[in-house]
Amino acid sequence: MKKLNAYFRSYNGQVLLRLIAAILIGYLASNAIGVVMAKSLDRWTSLHLSEASLYASLSAFFIYSVIILWAFSVRSQKKLWRQLSVLTFIFAVLAYVI
Amino acid sequence: MIWLHTWAGLVFCWLLYFMFVTGTLGYLDSELDSWMKPELSAAEEVSLETDLSAAVTYLQAHAADAERWFISPANHRDNPQLRVSWRYPRDSEKSNGRELINRDTGEELHHRETAGGQTLYRMHYRLHYLPSGWGFRLVGIFTLAMFIALLTGVVAHRKLFKDFFSFRPQKGKTAWLDMHNLSSIASLPFQLMITYSGLIFAISTWMPFVGVAAYDFDVKSLRADINEMRGRSSVKAAGESANLVGMDILSQNIEASINDGALVRFIEIKNPNDRNAKIFVNPHLSGPVQEQNKLQFDGRSGKLESSKEQSGALQTRNVFINLHEGLFAGPALRLLYILSGILGTLMVATGAIYYAQKRKRPTHALSKQQMLVNIVNGGTIIGLPISICIFMISNRLLAIELDQRADWEVHSMFLAWLASFVLAAFWVKDAMWKKLTLVLSIALFTVPIVNFFSTNRGLGQSSWQNDTLFVATDVVMLSMAAISLLLWAILSKKEQRQQSPIRSSNAHSAVA
């Protein structure tokens, strides 16, 4: 356990943690944002749901990339995890509610 | 950000290089197809009616009971010959087929079995030797990594324009960085376009959840909506036979309803010889924005039934896809695509070399890890072009009647690539780049020579007027061989200078 702790404090461990945050949590977040986008386009514009979800899907990779970039630009690892989880949670709830 | 750039960049360099090389050659897929079928020459373009009648006559004789027929008239670089294919329903025991047709005799055109340019192009997005689907998934991941490397690259080179104008060829490893910057910045708009549009292909593989969840997990209605959006018809066969419309009437109706100057890319005939026969006509693209949707005709009367307006979202998606594939590009734009592809290839290659150079300490011997990076660098960057030459040469040298000849062309390519890695490992301590470049140059020279002796369409045997493609291929091969020979000469000179520093510094002072 101690060893694992030490590893996550090392440079490589920090990179790994960031990669997990960016790639896994970021994937969840971008999917949630995409769903919210699709549903709100469907609800508040005249677009059909099929069109709205295609537009959202087209943007999904861009959203994902921006999240990954952001994950590597935030200085503090703790701040990153906190903000990213809050973001994911909010959008997941929104996606469910709308 | 700079360290993410190095990380994301390097780990994916080698596969990206493969994707760039095969993708750039993909812009010449039809040309390479024709080169690999030297028995055939491009059919002259005649009327739509002639092509359609010849095709339908052939299909009636060979696949009258198929569910769908596809006919591509010979009128474009994509279809130098009249081509037909046919499909049976999935549960049918009969097998699908495709043939090139001689429209004068109505018979199949015979040519050697070859993998062709299409197989090479397919490796660009599916790789090879992988279980179906996995190559495509992997490529999607690499594309995302490339997109992130590009975005972070822009951030890493904040002094974008200053970087662009600083090229210091004499400065060793800085020269590699400068070349990396130069090739990336010069083609940055292209790279961003090609990578993001590449990601669009992977939406249903890696981002399916957005659509599925937006439909509250009702996959059935999602599929139905997508099919409707794509204009896929759900016409079922009636089971009653009926005569198909005459091709003279059909081609007249097509020409009347297709946009002026547009050409037919392919027509699909669904349920031929059935009461519910439908004919779909797909025009060639004249630009990234599709101007005319596919036209639907009734299969018995040949009357135009509809041409639906396409949805805006689907059009947006198609613009990305069309920009990526560049099917609409004429010769000049195609050249630009290829040059941008080459710049991208250089960007990846110089990035990989710079990474290896940066970690070299002049006073220390190479570590095992550095040596491995060097071997993979050399084996990939020079080895892949060598293996593609072998791919082309094997098309000429493998016995015509060989079983699974097309597969063996590909096997030869990968065996040659493996051999390049072995050579690179063998030479890694001693002038690897120089020796590999010489091998590449020999391989490139060999292609036109083998072509000369194995066909009657070699250099001097055919002329620019009647066989542009073959002359152009020879000229390109010879020029690339000359360029690699030049590289070899430069590397040898550099090596000499390094081996005798005293003499070279004397030479410098003598010149001064």
DSSP string, A1-35: -HHHHHHHHSHHHHHHHHHHIIIIIHHHHHHHHHH
Task: Give the residue among B128, B195, B187, B184 at the shortest CA–CA distance from B157.
Answer: B184
Q: Which two tokens stand for residue B9?
A: 């960049």
CB B304 within 8 Å of CB B297 = yes
Q: How far is A33 from chain B (nearest CA, A)?
A: 9
Q: Which residue has the higher pLDDT, B36 or B291?
A: B36
Across the range B373-377, mean pLDDT stands at 87
Would you call B318 an interface residue with chain A, using a CB distance cutoff of 8 Å? no
Across the range B48-66, mean pLDDT stands at 93
- What count of other Cβ atoms lies within 10 Å of the Cβ of residue B336? 14
pLDDT tens sequence across A60-86: 999 999 999 898 888 888 999 999 999
Q: Which two tokens stand for residue B464?
A: 């620019």
Q: What are phi and psi of B278, to 5 degrees?
A: -130, 145
- Mean pLDDT of the residues in chain A: 90
Q: State the best of A58, A93, A94 to mutate against chain B, taking most chain B CBs within 10 Å.
A: A58
Q: What are phi and psi of B280, to 5 degrees?
A: -115, 130
- pLDDT the model gives residue B364: 73
Q: Which domain holds residue B475?
A: 359-500
Residue B210 and residue A69: Cβ atoms within 8 Å? no
Would you call B231 an interface residue with chain A, using a CB distance cutoff of 8 Å? no
Burial class (CB in 10 A: 0-12, 13-18, 19+), B299: buried
Split at pLDDT 50, 70, 90, the class of B501 is: low
Q: Which two tokens stand for residue B97?
A: 């087929």
Q: State the best of B155, B210, B310 to mutate against chain A, taking most chain A CBs within 10 Å.
A: B210
- pLDDT the model gives residue B436: 96
CB B9 within 8 Å of CB B351 = yes
**Cβ within 8 Å of residue A89, ≥6 positions away:** none
The answer to whether residue B387 sits within a structural domain is: yes
* Residue where the block lists tokens 């809050």: A86
Among A6-10, B50-54, B92-96, where is mean pLDDT lowest?
A6-10
| Rounded-to-integer distance, Cα A47 and Cα B312, Å | 9
What residues of B are in contact with residue A92 (Cβ under 8 Å)?
none
User: For each successive 10 residues of chain A (98 residues), what is the average pLDDT?
Assistant: 82 84 94 95 91 94 92 88 95 91
- pLDDT the model gives residue B291: 76
Q: Distances from the Cα of B284 to the Cαs of B72, B73, B325, in angstroms? A: 11, 11, 13
Residue B196 and residue A62: Cβ atoms within 8 Å? yes
- pLDDT the model gives residue A25: 94
Burial class (CB in 10 A: 0-12, 13-18, 19+), B83: buried
Closest alpha carbon within chain B to A19: B4
- pLDDT the model gives residue B401: 92
pLDDT tens sequence across B160-205: 656 656 666 666 677 888 888 888 888 889 999 999 999 999 998 9
Chain B residues 416-475 with CB within 8 Å of chain A: none
CB B214 within 8 Å of CB A56 = yes
Q: Which residue has the higher pLDDT, B306 or B477?
A: B477
Residue A61 and residue B317: Cβ atoms within 8 Å? no
What residues of A are in contact with residue B206 (Cβ under 8 Å)?
61
- pLDDT the model gives residue B504: 44
**3-class state of residue A90 by DSSP:** helix
- pLDDT the model gives residue B480: 97
Split at pLDDT 50, 70, 90, the class of B289 is: confident
Its ipTM equals: 0.89
| Rounded-to-integer distance, Cα B256 and Cα B182, Å | 50
CB B204 within 8 Å of CB B212 = no
| Rounded-to-integer distance, Cα B360 and Cα B354, Å | 10
Q: Which domain holds residue A52?
A: 2-97
| Percent with pLDDT over 90 in chain B | 56
Split at pLDDT 50, 70, 90, the class of B9 is: low
Chain B residues 129-148 with CB within 8 Å of chain A: 144, 147-148
Residue A72 and residue B316: Cβ atoms within 8 Å? no
The sign of the torsion formed by the CA atoms of B490, B493, B497, B498 equals positive
The 8-class DSSP code of residue B455 comes to S
The answer to whether residue B389 sits within a structural domain is: yes
| Rounded-to-integer distance, Cα B483 and Cα B441, Å | 8
| Rounded-to-integer distance, Cα B315 and Cα B319, Å | 6
Closest alpha carbon within chain A to B211: A53
| Rounded-to-integer distance, Cα B368 and Cα B429, Å | 11
| Rounded-to-integer distance, Cα B217 and Cα A96, Å | 12
The number of domains in chain B is 1
Split at pLDDT 50, 70, 90, the class of B417 is: very high
Residue B316 and residue A58: Cβ atoms within 8 Å? yes
| Rounded-to-integer distance, Cα B200 and Cα A54, Å | 11
Task: Give the residue among B23, B12, B24 at the shortest CA–CA distance from B142.
Answer: B12
The sign of the torsion formed by the CA atoms of B406, B408, B411, B417 equals negative
- pLDDT the model gives residue B506: 45
| Percent with pLDDT over 90 in chain A | 63
Beta bridge partners of A94: none
Split at pLDDT 50, 70, 90, the class of B512 is: very low
The sign of the torsion formed by the CA atoms of B76, B79, B81, B82 equals negative
- pLDDT the model gives residue B507: 44
- What count of other Cβ atoms lies within 10 Å of the Cβ of residue B207? 25
- B273: region left, alpha or beta (phi > 0 left; psi from -120 to 50 alpha): left
| Exposure class string for B256-269: b at 16+ Cβ within 10 A, else e | eebeeeeebbbbbb
pLDDT tens sequence across B454-476: 999 988 888 888 889 999 999 99
Parallel, antiparallel, or unpaired for β B264-270 and B304-306? unpaired
- Mean pLDDT of the residues in chain B: 87
Q: Which two tokens stand for residue A14?
A: 């920090």
The number of domains in chain A is 1
| Rounded-to-integer distance, Cα B164 and Cα B157, Å | 9
Checking if the pLDDT of B450 tops 90, the result is yes
pLDDT tens sequence across B231-240: 776 778 888 8
**Cβ within 8 Å of residue B226, ≥6 positions away:** A50
Among B6-20, B55-69, B388-402, where is mean pLDDT lowest?
B6-20
Checking if the pLDDT of B481 tops 70, the result is yes
Across the range B379-397, mean pLDDT stands at 96
Residue B210 and residue A42: Cβ atoms within 8 Å? no
Burial class (CB in 10 A: 0-12, 13-18, 19+), B476: middle
pLDDT tens sequence across B252-261: 999 998 888 7
pLDDT tens sequence across B113-128: 999 999 999 999 999 9
